[in-house]
Amino acid sequence: MGYTIHPTDRAPSGVLADGPVAVMTSQRNTASADFVQATMRRLLTTRLERAMRSWRRSTRSERHFHFAYEHVLGTSLELRVTAVRECAAQRAEAETLAEIDRLALVLSGWSSTSELALWLATHDADVPVSAELAEVLHASARWREQTRGAFDPAAQAILDRLRGGDTDDAFVHAPGAALRKPLWLVDRGAGTARRLTRRAVTLDAIAKGYIVARAALRARAVEGVVDVLLNVGGDVQHYGEHAVVGGVADPIAAAENAPPIAVVRLRNAALATSGGYRRGFLLDGRRVSHIVDPRTARPAEQIVSASVIAPECTTADALSTAFSVMSARESVAIADSLGDVGCLLVEADGRITTNKSWDDRAVTARP
Amino acid sequence: MHDRPFRTPPHDPLDRRGALARLATAALSLTGLTAFRRFGAEATRIAAPKWDDRFELAVDLEIAPQQGYRYHRPYVAVWVEDAGGRPVRTLSLWVNTSGRGPRYIRELRRWFSMDRDQEDAGGPDIISTVSSATRLPGQYTVTWNGRDDRGSVVDQGNYRVVIEAAREHGSYQLMQQDLTLTTKPVAADLAGNEEIGRVRVEYRRRK
């Protein structure tokens, strides 16, 4: 008889032990004994793990904290933190706001002194950029390609013209142009980015998701924090141990106390929604969405709300914008091809389409 | 159970009458004369038509911006009282104003009941957050579908919408609007203050 150290798949962290779990085993040679040995080992490890987890939870006394701000990134912010002590939650709050401030200086679309604004003043030159700006530029280019132009930072030019009352088709792309003419070239190894297009561009449709993801991650990294659920203006990111339940607002009845149109479970995942029902504008006397289809230069009309679940909020934000202008079938096809992306699309006639990845996370209401 | 720590409702003179009526009904029913129940409770109330389900009452409010920079959201409670001053339905937004402990009662999403420990046992869940198209900062709407806190339909008639706002290191504000809710749309705009910039109360057809 001896004992062997067996590392568990998920080493329990926290109070008791951070490393492998020691399990007693015997060293007899018969096959059945081996089987019994293996089963005992499996039972002991999982049972021990479970016991340790619930013991930890009961002695750890996790508390829930909630912080809410207005006028953050031009919208409202809600942060829910589960932490073992209050100062950890307060530190998580501070880290979240600090990261948002830091990244706003880099990615802000409305500031004329953000790193993005200064970079956009350059053209056809390899300009050194921060890792964060390079990452967002690279992600934008990737989603522009993968959605075949449905997500396009250069859609801003079209929106500006429509808001100004101009409805001509001067900016309509031919399909495939997205692949032929990149907006910029990013060299992440060298840390430079070269702007190629002269058209007005905005990263708003992806930058907010990126900032939410980074801020939530930084809050989660605070010692003593168990869960972080960050919602900035409707873009949600969760990191942590306990799954949370999130809802999707009904585009037609978007009151605070109205029932959500869908409910999903999230754990280490993000949920973003895109739709024109809050920030639309008047065009030729009609109220239209502020989300423009870059391929037709027209405001999105068919889809009134598009929601995406993805591991990171950057992806969820970009894809929800793209799915607002694509047909439900195209959106489901792209979401399915990416594997871990769920989508829910609400059409103008009220029809709802989801893919399997979304349905797997859906929660049914219990009265 | 109503979440309004800053005020208590005024004493209602009808309560005594109602109590006596209920006692009378109880006494009568004990003798088996249940036909007289009608005279007990309902004689004190004039029959009014029920809430018109084609309509809803929407309260649009805007949290006043503070010096153009981010600020803690104030605690805002919205509720509806009837003509006698009794609270009928609470539609409140509860947010904590500082990191000082978990103050979170959220009446808004009563669709699921919550207990984190129950979650492990496979119990029902609460919605912790809602994803939507980007919110306009400080803009919130709550709607009333004419049901009271217990879920029963209310009568048409006179009601008062009350909005209470308080912010830590800020001010305390109380706003009220009386409305007659029948079968005609009505609307009222309330003057703003330091915490709530703008309120519009609208009785309108449901979409």
Question: In this structure, is residue B181 part of a structural domain?
Answer: yes
ipTM over 0.95: no
Q: What is the pTM of this model?
A: 0.75
* pLDDT at residue A125, rounded to an integer: 94
For an interface test with B, which of A84, A110, A245 has the most B Cβ atoms less than 10 Å from its Cβ?
A245
B26 in the same domain as B86 = no
B199 in the same domain as B98 = yes
| pLDDT per position as a tens digit, A304-321 | 999 999 999 999 999 999
B68 in the same domain as B41 = no
* pLDDT at residue B207, rounded to an integer: 76
B75 in the same domain as B62 = yes
CA-CA distance, A89 to A67, in Å (whole number)?
10
More confident residue, A15 or A87: A87
Q: What is the extent of the structural domain holding B131?
A: 48-205
Q: In the sheet that B55-63 helps form, which strands lie side by side, from edge to edge? A: B139-144, B55-63, B196-205, B186-190
How many domains in chain B? Answer: 2
Residue in chain B closest to A274 (alpha carbons) equals B133
- Please answer yes or no on whether A273 and B133 come within 8 Å at the CB atom: yes
More confident residue, B195 or A331: A331
For residue A305, the 8-state DSSP code is E
User: Given a cut of 90, is residue A45 above it in pLDDT?
Assistant: no
> Residue B20: CB partners within 8 Å, gap ≥ 6?
none
Q: Does B68 touch chain A (CB under 8 A)?
A: yes
Residue in chain B closest to A71 (alpha carbons) equals B70
Q: Does B67 touch chain A (CB under 8 A)?
A: no
Q: Which residues of B touch A257 (CB under 8 A)?
A: 91, 107-109, 142-143
B156 in the same domain as B75 = yes
- Please answer yes or no on whether A254 and B63 come within 8 Å at the CB atom: no
B108 in the same domain as B157 = yes
| pLDDT per position as a tens digit, A330-360 | 999 999 999 999 999 999 999 999 999 999 9
* pLDDT at residue A203, rounded to an integer: 93
Q: Does A93 touch chain B (CB under 8 A)?
A: yes
pLDDT band, very low/low/confident/very high, at A227 (cuts 50, 70, 90): very high
Of these ranges, A17-26, B110-119, B154-163, the one predicted with the greatest mean pLDDT is B154-163
H/E/C letters for each residue in B43-108? HHCCCCCECCCCEEEEEEEEECCCCCCCEECCEEEEEEEECCCCEEEECCECCCCCCCCCCCCCCC
Which one, of B159, B198, B163, B192, lies nearest residue B178 by Cα? B159
When mean pLDDT is compared across A146-160, A168-182, A229-243, the lowest value belongs to A168-182
B108 in the same domain as B26 = no
Q: How far is B130 from chain A (nearest CA, A)?
A: 5
Neighbours of A165 (CB within 10 A): 9
B110 in the same domain as B27 = no
Class of domain A63-359: alpha beta
Question: In this structure, is residue B6 part of a structural domain?
Answer: no
- Please answer yes or no on whether A366 and B112 come within 8 Å at the CB atom: yes
B24 in the same domain as B108 = no
Question: In this structure, is residue B88 part of a structural domain?
Answer: yes
Cβ under 8 Å to B: A residues 190-229: 208, 229
B102 in the same domain as B116 = yes
- Please answer yes or no on whether A253 and B207 come within 8 Å at the CB atom: yes
Q: SS3 for B39? A: helix
- Please answer yes or no on whether A249 and B132 come within 8 Å at the CB atom: yes
Both tokens assigned to A125: 């030159």
Q: Does A58 touch chain B (CB under 8 A)?
A: no
Q: Which residues of A touch B119 (CB under 8 A)?
A: 242-243
All structural domains of chain A with their residue ranges:
2-60, 63-359
Q: Which residues of B touch A76 (CB under 8 A)?
A: 73, 135, 137-138
Question: In this structure, is residue B2 part of a structural domain?
Answer: no
Question: In this structure, is residue B66 part of a structural domain?
Answer: yes
Question: In this structure, is residue B127 part of a structural domain?
Answer: yes
Q: Does B168 touch chain A (CB under 8 A)?
A: no
Task: Indicate the average pLDDT of chain B.
Answer: 71
Q: How far is A231 from chain B (nearest CA, A)?
A: 7
Task: Indicate the average pLDDT of chain A.
Answer: 83
Question: In this structure, is residue B3 part of a structural domain?
Answer: no
B185 in the same domain as B112 = yes
B139 in the same domain as B84 = yes
Q: Which residues of A touch B99 (CB under 8 A)?
A: 65, 67, 86, 89-90, 93
